[in-house]
Amino acid sequence: MSEREAMYDPQKIEEKWQRRWDAERANEPDLDAPERPFYNLMMYPYPSAEGLHVGNLYAFTGADLYGRYRRLRGDEVFQPIGFDAFGIHSENYALKVDTHPMELIPANIANFTRQLRRAGIMYDWSHTVDTTDPGYYRWTQWIFLRLYEAGLAEKKEAPVNWCPSCKTVLANEQVIAGECERCGTPVGTRTLSQWFFRITEYADRLLENLEWIDWSETTKTAQRNWIGRSKGALLRFPVVVSGGMEPAAGSAAVSGKAASAASDRPTASTDASAPTIDVFTTRPDTIFGASFMVLAPEHPLVERVTTEERRGAVEAYREKVAATDLVQRKKADRSKSGVDTGARARNPATGQEIPIWIADYVLMEYGTGAIMAVPAHDQRDFEFAREFDLPIPVVVAPRQAAEAADDPADVAIEAGEEAVADTGDVLLVNSGRFSGTEAEEGGRAIVEWLAGDGLAEPRVQYRLHDWCISRQRYWGPPIPIVYCDACGAVPVPDEDLPVELPYVEDFRPEEGGVSPLARVASFYETTCPECGGPARRETDVSDTFLDSGWYFLRYPSTDADDRPIDDARTETWLPVDMYIGGEEHAVLHLLYSRFITMVLHDLDYLEFEEPYDRFRKHGLLIKEGAKMSKSRGNIVVPDEYMDRYGADVFRAYLMFLGPYQEGGDFRDRGIVGVERFLTRLWDSVSQAAEEGREGFPDEAVERKLHRTIRQVTGDFEGLSYNTAIAALMEYLNEARSAGRTPTLDEVRPLVVMLAPVAPHAAEELWEELGGEEPLFASAPGGGERSRNVWPEWEEELLHADEVEIPVQVNGKVRATIRVERGADRETVREAALADENVRRHLEGAEPLKVIHVPDRLLNLVIE
């Protein structure tokens, strides 16, 4: 071989091996009869027009390293990729460049595909998914229908952010400081009829399963926060009927139950037909301190209870609130506002009449949309009481203060400058017969007491809302429902799926909060599947998170066109063995896909209820200390680097720059380190191949090899790629320091361990070393299957006969001595005492204590 040919030329070999992997269908496992199936999944990308971002590539490369590692260990690895191409992101971009998404998306997908192949990622291109393909979204619609049948999909009114300039609904994430992120117009609130999935029904299971699934802890925590379970009680406050109030027919939120008075508690004349205000509280123990009530301005009872003279003020306030966007309203640092309705409710514990206010700090969407205000023990209520001069009775006190009082039921404590919400070592005071009880216990007793009259019950409340899947947009799968005057909402029959999204020239969002599809008569005009009469299609499309809620179920079954998932394939490959993705999807996607999986399990379509056996998040890649973003102009385009250094060097650099699960900083300078490493490795292996010597002439190198195998294997298991690469570097340095050409036995395992990181170079070197079969280029489903070529280490070869151990005097290292491995305490102690520097520090004293950690350390303690 001439010297010229022996040079490391990434471009040449990368293309060669990519072609060969394709030709031999190396990345396509036998989906029907795999020996050791392993489903290695990564979060599929949104195919943007800008092309593959280095952040995407970072994520995919890390997942690919794991897949390739499993493959080399003999697993048949299924590693698919797809494209999350529906959604507002694509649609907005299409609007901006004035090109139809149906034209844009295929070009973007082609570009992504080219880049991903170039990066040498081990995808099975015969099983991809494109969410905008009718062959895919047909089944997205099918899933909607299954939820609809199960009563888990319902249409209801809900307040949403509305941008009056863009004339569209905005997600909370698209509202920045009360303004539309695109045009800067202040955003308002609108109430629209929307489709919801009742994910709240699954809140408990979604929470409970987090106990056992093997996921990154941070991700589990994020989900727990998002679900937001609170334990407390539902309490009922009867409205005091005054002359002006007309009892009206009960609405959904009105409890029809009459409040009857308990015999041991002050009673009041309450009309049997009067409504009650239900509140949720986590602190039922503080009910004696509830000095007023607050309803959300949108609360259905507001109109009914408001007195005649307050009506004008209440209406004005409600209008003002309606004009405020949800994001702005939820800011905690705003000063409190509200108005008195003039109505009164009876505190069921004290029997006192307390005023009913409305205020925008109470949200209709959480709990019952109404609260009992306990200003002494809740900061928000406190601020409100201060603002409007409402009483602040103290009903909880530190044990010491409470016990010092003559009568805990009559303690004079002034409210301080803020609410005291502690639940630690506190007792109830001024709380009737519950005074003197420990707070938590008192709360339980109070609930039990009031429950006797139907005025209280224990309750668990979730922060999680039902999942709104309606989008008044164009670029998504139409929701498969038909509205018929005679039959109402009728699901589209399965055999009529897909409801195809028509090509619409003008797909701009519509003024009136309806989808652009509402302008397309040929789309919405249809006949009722039930009665055959004229009917109108639902014109909203579904959320992209529904597309991604099940894509991983589709991959193994993409060739089944008459059913969403093939049972046998699903049983073989699912649940996913390893899922790797970004923390930004810790809640939405990962929660929604768990929900969809659970529902399909309950409906008997799946045997498992959790979709991913293991989930690991990868970190964020930043650029010289700053987040990469278009506006900063510091986006790294991978193509340039792959052109200059080759895919292998680029992959190795991305994986070396920091711990994969924590992310890292992309700096141009750092890449030369791994380039040098791969070049040196290439040269050493080429020379070894040329000389062709076998064996392990050097004990130190052999030992280092076994240590390296142990280290690298563990690192791959834990996705610690940076230290795995460092270990390979160390081994190469050791092998080269022997001052001779390495032997074949010395470099073969090195090449295998390098293969997940730099698969093209490894294949080429493996071939050069005379590997009978390529590392990856044989289809795992054909020929010799489940081939395990990963090297193994031997315990007895890990250690030398002699070890170096530090000798400490009083915990400070004073010498390093060489002793036989496994030497006992006496031997080591004597060797240590022979050392001059050690003796000097002992100053002739006999050690009081000798700490000996075999083969690790000796510590002589003299004081």
| Closer to RNA by Cβ: residue 65 or 245 | 65
Length of the chain: 863
Site string for RNA, 444-463 (x = CB under 7 A): -----------------x-x
| Closer to RNA by Cβ: residue 369 or 549 | 369
**Of the candidates 48, 141, 136, 137, the residue with the CA atom closest to the CA atom of residue 92:** 48
Q: Min. distance of Cβ 689 from RNA in angstroms?
A: 18
- What tokens does 607 get? 């045997």
785 and 697 in contact (C-beta within 8 Å)? no
Q: Min. distance of Cβ 809 from RNA in angstroms?
A: 8
**Of the candidates 152, 249, 51, 247, the residue with the CA atom closest to the CA atom of residue 466:** 152
Q: Min. distance of Cβ 688 from RNA in angstroms?
A: 16
- What tokens does 767 get? 């071939």
How far is Cα 737 from Cα 752, in angstroms, rounded to an integer?
Answer: 21
Give the phi and the psi of residue 334 in degrees, each rounded to 5: -75, 150
Identify residue 151 by its one-letter amino acid code: G
Stretch that binds RNA, among 13-21, 390-398, 471-479, 666-674 (CB under 7 A): 666-674
Over the Cα atoms of the chain, what is R_g? 35
- What tokens does 596 get? 């969809």
Residue 730 is a binding residue for RNA (CB under 7 A): yes
> Rule CB under 7 A: which of 797-826 touch RNA?
804-806, 808, 810-814, 816
Block residue for tokens 């408990």? 204
Q: Min. distance of Cβ 371 from RNA in angstroms?
A: 5
Residue 283 is a binding residue for RNA (CB under 7 A): yes
3-state helix, strand, coil in the chain (%, to 5): 40, 20, 40
> Rule CB under 7 A: which of 567-596 touch RNA?
583-584, 586-587
Q: Min. distance of Cβ 357 from RNA in angstroms?
A: 13
> Rule CB under 7 A: which of 328-367 touch RNA?
329-332, 334, 336-337, 360-367
| Closer to RNA by Cβ: residue 75 or 298 | 298
Residue 232 is a binding residue for RNA (CB under 7 A): yes
Residue 634 is a binding residue for RNA (CB under 7 A): no
| Closer to RNA by Cβ: residue 64 or 378 | 378
Q: Min. distance of Cβ 678 from RNA in angstroms?
A: 10
Tell me how many residues contact RNA (CB under 7 A).
89
Residue 793 is a binding residue for RNA (CB under 7 A): no
Quick one: which of 40, 281, 515, 558 contacts RNA (CB under 7 A)?
281
Residue 369 is a binding residue for RNA (CB under 7 A): yes
Residue 752 is a binding residue for RNA (CB under 7 A): no
How far is Cα 568 from Cα 37, in angstroms, rounded to an integer?
Answer: 13
Quick one: which of 122, 143, 169, 729 contacts RNA (CB under 7 A)?
729
Residue 659 is a binding residue for RNA (CB under 7 A): yes
| Closer to RNA by Cβ: residue 4 or 856 | 856
Residue 62 is a binding residue for RNA (CB under 7 A): no
Residue 228 is a binding residue for RNA (CB under 7 A): yes
In sequence order, the β-bridge partners of residue 356 are 293
Q: Min. distance of Cβ 569 from RNA in angstroms?
A: 35
Helix (H) or strand (E) holding 861: strand 857-861
Block residue for tokens 């081939």? 787
Residue 720 is a binding residue for RNA (CB under 7 A): yes
Contacts of residue 31, Cβ cutoff 8 Å, sequence gap at least 6: 78, 127, 556, 569, 572, 573
Residue 218 is a binding residue for RNA (CB under 7 A): yes
Contacts of residue 459, Cβ cutoff 8 Å, sequence gap at least 6: 231, 232, 233, 234, 280
Stretch that binds RNA, among 26-34, 93-101, 132-140, 324-332 (CB under 7 A): 324-332
- What tokens does 785 get? 């299957």
Q: Min. distance of Cβ 847 from RNA in angstroms?
A: 10
How far is Cα 169 from Cα 513, in angstroms, rounded to an integer?
Answer: 7
| Closer to RNA by Cβ: residue 143 or 751 | 751
Edge to edge, the sheet with strand 153-163 lists: 168-170, 153-163, 188-197, 467-468
Quick one: which of 225, 267, 527, 629 contacts RNA (CB under 7 A)?
225
Q: Min. distance of Cβ 389 from RNA in angstroms?
A: 18
How far is Cα 278 from Cα 235, in angstroms, rounded to an integer?
Answer: 6
DSSP classification of residue 281: E
| Closer to RNA by Cβ: residue 5 or 561 | 5
